[in-house]
Structure 1
């Protein structure tokens, strides 16, 4: 009996340590962001000023909105490489419509619809074309959208956007950039959809256990399509924000945005293995990227070295995901041992 009690006590302590490790990994990105802000506030007196904080929020708004859509795709074990080119094409469509006399609502709806259309192409071809991985179709649409945008815009930026879009992209309300309220609106809508509706549970089921999701009767194919449509829609909304900030549409917008959004999701703590994560991961990751880039600029760090730093951070984030999976497997083994 003594040995049994001792073994159980050791199992409880092991589980507690593993649970603590998982908890720290879960809240780690948020803690790192807080530490970063505190440290950078001491390194640069300009960093934590209201003007610079507002600048960071405005600069990260596009990445944050698009990353939230990317997050849903990654939850299903997928990836969307087309978001940058999709955004560029949407901005060009909006600029051309404005030049043709389109009103602000028409231009906004056209940009969002353009993004959603590309997203639907991605989802439909991936699912019903029986492609082995979404990497293939989203890489193809990355090139196609970029080519269409360059063709429509004749390879140059098209100036001019409706006043309402410019106000949204450039003006501040109650001390916050207008784009922040767009981010909050999109985030709240997606939070409601994923947390209070069955669609959200289906996404997690499809990403966590695809075979079980099929056995449960979940419409896996249409769930997958819906996540790519949502990702494309978020790219269209990002185009509205960026076009408002620049007062233009350009085929050169969104360069490497796909990498920034994937990095934001993974740095924030979501998993490439799917089925685990929440929108907060995308938001935290996007803000962290914005904070790091802003700080590196304030500290006059070379732009090429900035790319290296972001790459190293991504590698560390992926390794944290690997460690999290290892710890979860250990927890399951210990719990199974205690059950016996």
Structure 2
């Protein structure tokens, strides 16, 4: 396995080069979008709007880290938006029950770990397709959040819990810096650590990875656990910013994360992608959404545009893979 890592196959090298080109192209598109919107709206480049964009993309950027790792391994997780909502309501319920803030946060994070572990075991041990497995857990998590709260948001949380959303460092809230730390750590880990490098081999060929000595099931379970944990982190940070636990939060967030990761170069077939590229995809989608809001585009049309972006990204991914 070490020899394979040190001497990648020519096809793998071409795919990585292709991914770098896509990241560069995405950077150019982001720059063009910023330049165009700065002309169309005088409010686009203001510090307030920049902060709004960054804060708004925090949950998606955190979740896309786990989603990218799963996509590279050849899987995905559709339950992340619902796990975010459930974690948000769990931490709010515990805080309202006078549980200390650190213990409430820990319990909320364990919710994500539990759902990630369940997803991993269902996919690996039972052989259930990730689509069906995570659709099922998505429904369970969302239903649990609604049952616990009876469909209502939970407010009046302790003021000290708002530290993540209200504490400012260099003009940005603490939650934004937590996002940056998670993104950097995830990108370095996926590029450099021996354990996570294995997901590229699993995504490229699961059978070949198993024959080379990689514990495929163990690695895949860890990937699902990471995805669930990060969804819970996003849920806790969102609850801190809103100072409430919202059972309907994160609705559709799993599709946004998927779209961003594919736009950034990850492949639905596995074996390809970087967290840096996926986060660029998050930035691109967030800028498009912000631009449409500033141009007073209807929310319904924004949903249509988001769907079109996802379809186009997947189509480009499939065509690119065929050519390579």
TM-score w.r.t. length of structure 2? 0.91
Q: Give the distance between the partners of 2:248 and 2:19, measured in 1 at CA.
A: 41
1:106 and 2:103 correspond: yes
Q: Residue 63 of structure 1: CA displacement?
A: 0.7
Q: How does 1:45-124 map to 2 (within 5 A)?
A: 45-124=42-121
1:301 aligns with 2:311: no
CA distance in 2, matches of 1:115, 1:224: 16
Q: Find out whether 1:40 has 2:40 as its counterpart.
A: no
Tell me, in whole angstroms, the C-alpha distance in 2 between the residues paired with 1:125 and 1:19.
31
Question: C-alpha distance in 2, partners of 1:171/1:312?
Answer: 37
The alignment partner of 1:159 has SS state of coil
Quote the RMSD (CA, aligned, Å).
1.8
Distance in 2, Cα, partners of 1:95 & 1:20: 45
- Equivalents in 2 of 1:109, 1:185: separation in Å? 19
The counterpart of 2:134, out of the listed 135, 138, 146, is 138
Larger radius of gyration between Structure 1 and Structure 2: 1
Change over 3 Å in CA distance of 1:102–1:194 after alignment to 2: same
Does the 8 Å CA contact 2:265/2:272 hold for their aligned counterparts? no
Residues of 2 paired with 1:164 and 1:31: CA distance? 41
- What stretches of structure 1 move > 6 A for 4+ residues in a row? 18-22
1:197-254 superposed Cα distances (whole Å, 9 cap, x missing partner): 2111111111112111011010000111111101000100100111011101121111
Look up the match of 2:241: 245
C-alpha distance in structure 2 between counterparts of 1:36 and 1:204, whole Å: 32
Structure 2 residue aligned with 1:268? 264
Give the distance between the partners of 2:279 and 2:145, measured in 1 at CA.
Answer: 28
Maintained 8 Å contact 1:90/1:239? yes
Q: How does 1:113-192 map to 2 (within 5 A)?
A: 113-131=110-128, 133-192=129-188
Instruction: State how far apart, in whole Å, the 2-side matches of 1:277 and 1:300 are.
Output: 34
Deviations 1:236-282 (A, max 9, x none): 01001110111011211111111111111112221111111111122
Match of 2:25 among 28, 40, 44: 28
Task: Give the equivalent residue in structure 1 for 2:199.
Answer: 203
Looking at structure 2, the residues matched to 24 and 286 of structure 1 have their Cα atoms a distance apart, in angstroms, of 17
30-39 or 214-223: which moved more? 30-39
2-structure distance, mates of 1:21, 1:76: 18
Would you say the 8 A contact 1:98–1:160 is kept in 2? no
Contact 2:79 2:254 in 1 (8 A): yes
Question: Using the alignment, how far apart are the partners of 2:95 and 2:214 within structure 1?
Answer: 42
In structure 2, C-alpha distance between the alignment counterparts of 1:166 and 1:285, rounded to whole Å: 28
Measured after TM superposition, the shift of residue 160 of structure 1 is: 3.4
Q: Which runs of 5+ in 2 are unaligned?
A: 1-14
- Using the alignment, how far apart are the partners of 1:22 and 1:251 within structure 2? 37
Q: TM-score, normalised by structure 1?
A: 0.87
Confirm or deny: 8 A CA contact 1:103 1:162 kept in the other structure: no
